């Protein structure tokens, strides 16, 4: 019994439990946050294995970027619907026009309300398929990790940053470049999908790219708030 | 240094199972004492600076002269306040958010070298570690804003996420130039690399990008759109009161100190000085940057959200990339 073992057990339980909660929690926001917890736990495992560069990258990319993008996607959809809650009581003035028609749709999406028949019927098959896929994955992982000791021994690499950089720019230069081309294609695709040519008159800039997603999505809310506040 | 070595000897004499734990605990306590001790002074300093910029005196009565004890009764008051959790709040998120925000604010100090050999842990991924920790700030602000169950809070959280996402990238890229010149990500190595010239001279563009992006990361005016009292009441903090609110406040000042420490370490030579290098130089530079950020805060008005997003993505990001290219060319020629 040493600290590595204790930490490994703790992280293992944390990763498994949060991963389980990602798919079982009824609220999508909680799922995103559990996912962040799960990623953080994986970063901890990297640290235990002496791969500090990978750990920091894991946090930076997965907790920082991926989870944040998921959160963005959630927030750009209409919050009270996504919450899966009954409609919040309309405040004084009742000025929440955007939320009036919301709850029914939200319940359907999140399984809170009555479900269309087709979904009910298909569910069994989907479940079996998912279970088969999961079993296949577990089997594949079993083959890959056959003979690996748990917990694995920390590699005594010392400083990993410089060797990693050297490898990426020499031995693995082509895979690295291919990955960046794939990312660039994804970037261009995302911009193409998100650009909406507005029917508005000139003077307003078209909404494009991630930077404007935040600003653009926020405007209606602000206007709504301003209207609610009434005259000063 | 004798204190450090005797502490080391004491920790080393413990049984193997406990010594790493005890040494880590001692370092954590020292860092926390440093952070919170300075924090009390910072809150007072902010009020005095704010007061002077607005042609008034600021706190004067508790702790004469100049009211330097004012923060103590404030802490007592905050502790004594009622702890309110709104009925519509998402309880878990609401309670956890102030705790999560403390983590990056304090954990940033792990890699900061206070003086020669005075570093809690010299990680060889130093800069990457600093940048990665920023991710948790985004998460906690989102948890606070969303968990409050209030539309002002949600709007504030959305702004915070958009802003932090937009400014983390130029912040990280501005530090890439520093890492290139120093040839290392470790903050200790970066300070050693500045023995001939501070990096503010070698990386002036990077420094300016860092300064602007850091002000945005700190959520301080002119980039405090996530709080924006006049339009969003106080953004993600609306529903917080008492100690929970105080934790946001404490985390804000801890991040202010951490960012100032990073600026002092990466661009102004850390503990190095023109003469008598030591931790006092680091402290002086730290307080210079803290004052600079306060100065900016009480001088400039808040900018509009679309201007802010454009500044981040369309100006700072290309400039930071250009800085990397220029640094590369410079290194190829003179390096």
A6 in any annotated domain: yes
- Give whole-number Cα distances, A110 to A26, A114, A115, A129, B293, in Å: 8, 10, 10, 21, 45
Gap between the Cα atoms of B313 and B212, Å rounded: 13
Instruction: Find residues 85-144 of chain B whose CB sits inside 8 Å of chain A.
Output: 88, 90, 93, 123-125, 128-129, 131-136, 138-139, 142-143
Tell me if A67 and B151 make a contact (CB, 8 A cut-off): no
Tell me if A33 and B132 make a contact (CB, 8 A cut-off): no
Segment B200-205 long-range contacts (CB within 8 Å, at least 24 positions apart)? B200/B267, B200/B268, B203/B177, B203/B178, B203/B267, B203/B323, B203/B327, B205/B177, B205/B319, B205/B322, B205/B323, B205/B326
Contact between A138 and B102 under an 8 Å Cβ cutoff? The reply is no
Higher-pLDDT residue of A84 and B33 is B33
Residue A43: is it exposed, middle or buried by C-beta count within 10 angstroms (0-12/13-18/19+)?
buried
**pLDDT above 90 for A185:** yes
Here the CATH number for the domain that contains residue A56 is 1.20.120.1200
Q: What is the pLDDT of residue B245?
A: 85
pLDDT in tens, A125-174: 788 888 899 899 889 888 877 766 655 555 555 667 778 888 888 888 89
Radius of gyration for chain B, computed over Cα atoms and rounded to the nearest angstrom: 21
Gap between the Cα atoms of B111 and B127, Å rounded: 9
| Boundaries of domain holding A46 | 1-79
Question: For residue A166, what are its two tokens?
Answer: 């050297």
pLDDT in tens, B265-293: 888 888 887 777 778 888 888 999 999 99
> How near does any CA of chain A get to the CA of B185, in Å?
8
**pLDDT above 60 for A122:** no
As a whole-number percent, the residues of chain A with pLDDT over 70 amount to 59
Gap between the Cα atoms of A35 and A19, Å rounded: 7
> How near does any CA of chain A get to the CA of B147, in Å?
10
**pLDDT above 70 for A80:** no
Tell me if B90 and A29 make a contact (CB, 8 A cut-off): yes
Tell me if B93 and A53 make a contact (CB, 8 A cut-off): no
> How near does any CA of chain A get to the CA of B108, in Å?
13
- The interface pTM score, or ipTM, of the predicted complex is 0.81
Higher-pLDDT residue of A124 and A102 is A124
Higher-pLDDT residue of A81 and B40 is B40
> How near does any CA of chain A get to the CA of B49, in Å?
31
| Of B327, B324, B257, B306, the residue nearest B40 (C-alpha) | B257
A85 in any annotated domain: no
Question: For residue A180, what are its two tokens?
Answer: 């960046």
β-sheet bridge partners, residue A196: A207
Q: Which of A29, A67, A214 sits opposite B309 (nearest CB)?
A: A214
Q: What is the pLDDT of residue B321?
A: 92
From A75, which residue of chain B is nearest by alpha-carbon distance? B158
Q: What is the pLDDT of residue A181?
A: 93
Q: What is the pLDDT of residue A136?
A: 92
Regions in chain B scoring below 50 on pLDDT = none
CB-defined contacts A:B, below 8 A:
111
pLDDT in tens, A44-67: 888 888 788 888 888 888 888 888
Q: What is the pLDDT of residue B311?
A: 87
pLDDT in tens, A15-28: 999 999 888 887 88
A183 in any annotated domain: yes
A144 in any annotated domain: no
Q: What are the start-end ranges of the H helices in chain B? A: 2-12, 19-53, 71-80, 91-107, 126-147, 151-182, 187-192, 199-202, 204-217, 229-232, 242-267, 279-297, 305-310, 317-334
- Give whole-number Cα distances, B98 to A69, B41, B141, B162, B234, in Å: 22, 21, 9, 20, 15
Gap between the Cα atoms of B3 and B115, Å rounded: 14
Q: What is the pLDDT of residue A100?
A: 38
Tell me if A56 and B157 make a contact (CB, 8 A cut-off): no
Tell me if B124 and A52 make a contact (CB, 8 A cut-off): yes
Q: What is the pLDDT of residue A24?
A: 86
Gap between the Cα atoms of B326 and B87, Å rounded: 55
pLDDT in tens, B92-125: 888 888 888 888 888 888 888 888 877 777 888 8
What's the distance, CA B296 to chain centroid? 15
Q: What is the pLDDT of residue A97?
A: 39
Cβ-Cβ contacts under 8 Å, B17 against chain A: 2-3
When scoring A54, A160, A214 by the number of chain B Cβ atoms within 10 A, the one with the most, hence best to mutate, is A214
- Give whole-number Cα distances, A185 to A61, A66, A178, A196, B317, in Å: 18, 17, 11, 19, 20
What's the distance, CA B129 to chain centroid? 14
**pLDDT above 50 for A208:** no
A72 in any annotated domain: yes
- Give whole-number Cα distances, B105 to A155, B250, B254, in Å: 30, 9, 5
A9 in any annotated domain: yes
Number of neighbours of residue B266 by Cβ within 10 angstroms: 29
Cβ-Cβ contacts under 8 Å, A64 against chain B: 132, 134-135, 138, 168
Domain segments of chain B as ranges: 1-80, 85-334
From B16, which residue of chain A is nearest by alpha-carbon distance? A2
Cβ-Cβ contacts under 8 Å, B312 against chain A: 211
**pLDDT above 60 for A81:** no
> How near does any CA of chain A get to the CA of B142, in Å?
8
User: For A213-231, what is the mean pLDDT?
Assistant: 38
- Give whole-number Cα distances, B112 to A183, A215, B22, B182, B260, in Å: 34, 35, 20, 16, 11
β-sheet bridge partners, residue A207: A196
Q: Which of A36, A75, A209 sits opposite B158 (nearest CB)?
A: A75
The b/e string for B66-103 (b: 16+ C-beta within 10 A; e otherwise) is: ebbebbeebeeebeeeeeebbeebbeebbebbbebbbe
Gap between the Cα atoms of B42 and B35, Å rounded: 10
From A58, which residue of chain B is nearest by alpha-carbon distance? B132
**How many domains does chain A divide into?**
2
Which residues on chain A place their C-beta less than 8 Å from a C-beta of chain B?
A: 2-3, 27, 29-30, 33, 36, 52-53, 56-57, 59-60, 63-65, 67-68, 71-72, 75, 79, 88, 159-161, 209-215, 217-218, 221-222, 225
Tell me if A215 and B151 make a contact (CB, 8 A cut-off): no
Cα torsion for A214, A220, A226, A227, to the nearest 10°?
A: -170
Question: For residue B253, what are its two tokens?
Answer: 């000042």
pLDDT band at A182 (very low <50, low <70, confident <90, very high): very high
Last residue of a domain, one of A32, A61, A79: A79
A21 in any annotated domain: yes
Cβ-Cβ contacts under 8 Å, B315 against chain A: none
Rounded to two decimals, the pTM is 0.76
């Amino acid at each position: 019994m040493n600290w590595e073992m204790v930490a490994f057990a703790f992280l293992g339980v944390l990763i498994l439990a949060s991963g389980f909660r990602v798919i079982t929690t009824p609220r999508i926001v909680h799922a995103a946050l559990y996912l962040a917890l799960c990623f953080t736990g994986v970063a901890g495992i990297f640290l235990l294995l002496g791969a500090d560069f990978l750990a920091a990258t894991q946090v930076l990319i997965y907790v920082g970027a991926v989870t944040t993008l998921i959160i963005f996607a959630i927030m750009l959809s209409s919050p009270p619907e996504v919450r899966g809650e009954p409609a919040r009581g309309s405040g004084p003035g009742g000025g929440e026009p955007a939320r009036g028609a919301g709850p029914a749709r939200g319940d359907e999406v999140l399984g809170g309300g009555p479900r269309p028949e087709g979904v009910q019927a298909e569910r069994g098959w989907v479940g079996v398929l998912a279970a088969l896929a999961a079993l296949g994955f577990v089997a594949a992982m079993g083959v890959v990790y056959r003979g690996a000791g748990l917990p694995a021994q920390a590699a005594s690499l010392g400083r990993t940053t410089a060797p990693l950089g050297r490898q990426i720019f020499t031995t693995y230069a082509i895979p690295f470049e291919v990955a960046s081309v794939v990312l660039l294609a994804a970037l261009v695709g995302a911009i193409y999908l998100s650009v909406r040519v507005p029917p508005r008159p000139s003077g307003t800039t078209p909404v494009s790219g991630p930077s404007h997603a935040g600003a653009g999505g926020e405007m209606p809310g602000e206007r709504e708030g301003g209207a609610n506040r009434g005259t000063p | 240094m004798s204190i450090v070595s005797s502490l080391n000897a004491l920790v080393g004499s413990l049984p193997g199972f406990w010594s790493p734990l005890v040494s880590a605990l001692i370092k954590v306590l020292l860092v926390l004492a440093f952070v919170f001790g300075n924090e009390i002074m910072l809150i007072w300093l902010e009020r005095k600076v704010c007061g002077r910029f607005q042609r008034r005196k600021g706190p004067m009565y508790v702790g004469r002269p100049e009211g330097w004890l004012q923060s103590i009764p404030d802490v007592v008051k905050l502790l004594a306040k009622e702890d309110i959790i709104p009925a519509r709040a998402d309880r878990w998120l609401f309670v956890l958010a102030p705790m999560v925000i403390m983590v990056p604010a304090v954990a940033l100090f792990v890699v900061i070298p206070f003086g020669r050999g005075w570093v809690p842990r010299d990680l060889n991924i130093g800069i990457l570690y600093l940048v990665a920790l920023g991710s948790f700030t985004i998460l906690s602000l989102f948890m606070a804003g969303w968990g409050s169950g209030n539309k002002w809070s949600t709007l504030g959280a959305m702004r915070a996420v958009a802003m932090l996402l937009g400014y983390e990238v130029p912040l990280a890229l501005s530090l890439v130039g520093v890492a290139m010149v120093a040839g290392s990500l470790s903050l200790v190595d970066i300070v050693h690399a500045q023995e001939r010239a501070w990096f503010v001279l070698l990386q002036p563009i990077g420094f300016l990008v860092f300064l602007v992006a850091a002000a945005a990361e700190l959520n301080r005016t002119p980039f405090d759109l996530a709080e924006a009292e006049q339009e969003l009441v106080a953004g993600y903090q609306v529903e917080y009161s008492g100690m929970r609110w105080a934790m946001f406040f404490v985390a804000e000042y801890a991040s202010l100190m951490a960012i100032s420490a990073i600026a002092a370490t990466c661009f102004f030579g850390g503990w190095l000085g023109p003469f008598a290098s030591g931790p006092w130089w680091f402290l002086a530079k730290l307080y210079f940057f803290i004052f600079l950020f306060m100065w900016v805060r009480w001088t400039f008005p808040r900018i509009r959200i679309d201007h802010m997003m454009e500044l981040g993505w369309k100006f700072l990001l290309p400039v930071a990339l250009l800085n990397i290219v220029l640094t590369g060319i410079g290194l190829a020629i003179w390096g």
